[in-house]
Amino acid sequence: MTKPDIKTHLRQYLDFGREAMLWKLEGLSEYDIRRPMTPTGTNLLGLVKHLAGTEIGYFAVTFGRPFPEQFPWLGADAEKNADMWATPDESREDVLALYERVRAFADATIAELPLDAPGRVLWWPEERANVTLDQIIIHVAAETHRHAGHADIVRELIDGTVGMRLGRENMPETDRNWWADYRNTLEEAAKTAAS
Partner 1 sequence: MTRVIAFDAKADLLLHLQDARDALVWKLDGLPEYDVRRPMTPTGTNLLGLVKHLTGAEAAYFGAAFGRPVEGPALWFAGDAEPNADLWATADETRERILDDYRAMWRHSDATIAELELDAVGRVPWGNRQELTLHRVLVHMIGETHRHVGHADIVRELVDGSAGQRADGANTAEGDAAWWARYRDRLERVAREASGEAG
- Closer to partner 1 by Cβ: residue 68 or 88: 88
The answer to whether residues 156 and 24 touch, using CB atoms and an 8 Å cutoff, is no
DSSP string across 44-113: HHHHHHHHHHHHHHHHTGGGT---S---GGGSTTPPTTGGGS--TTS-HHHHHHHHHHHHHHHHHHHHHS
The answer to whether residues 62 and 119 touch, using CB atoms and an 8 Å cutoff, is yes
Q: Which of 27, 29, 69, 124 binds partner 1 (CB under 8 A)?
A: 29
Q: How many residues bind partner 1 (CB under 8 A)?
A: 74
Residue 177's closest CA among 189, 188, 185? 185
Stretch in the footprint of partner 1 (CB under 8 A) among 51-59, 62-70, 97-105, 153-161: 153-161
Q: What is the DSSP letter of 38?
A: S
Number of H helices, E strands in the chain: 7, 2
What is the end-to-end Cα distance of the chain in Å, rounded? 54
CA-based max dimension of the chain = 59
Note whether 42 binds partner 1 by CB under 8 A.
Answer: yes
Return the residues of window 68-127 that contact partner 1 according to CB under 8 A: 80-81, 85-88, 114-116
Stretch in the footprint of partner 1 (CB under 8 A) among 53-61, 65-73, 101-109, 185-193: 185-193
- Closer to partner 1 by Cβ: residue 79 or 104: 79
Stretch in the footprint of partner 1 (CB under 8 A) among 48-56, 68-76, 95-103, 155-163: 155-163
Least separation in angstroms between CB 95 and partner 1: 11
Q: Which of 118, 166, 169, 178 binds partner 1 (CB under 8 A)?
A: 178
Stretch in the footprint of partner 1 (CB under 8 A) among 50-58, 62-70, 104-112, 130-138: 130-138
Least separation in angstroms between CB 68 and partner 1: 27
Return the residues of window 9-28 that contact partner 1 according to CB under 8 A: 9-10, 13, 16-17, 20
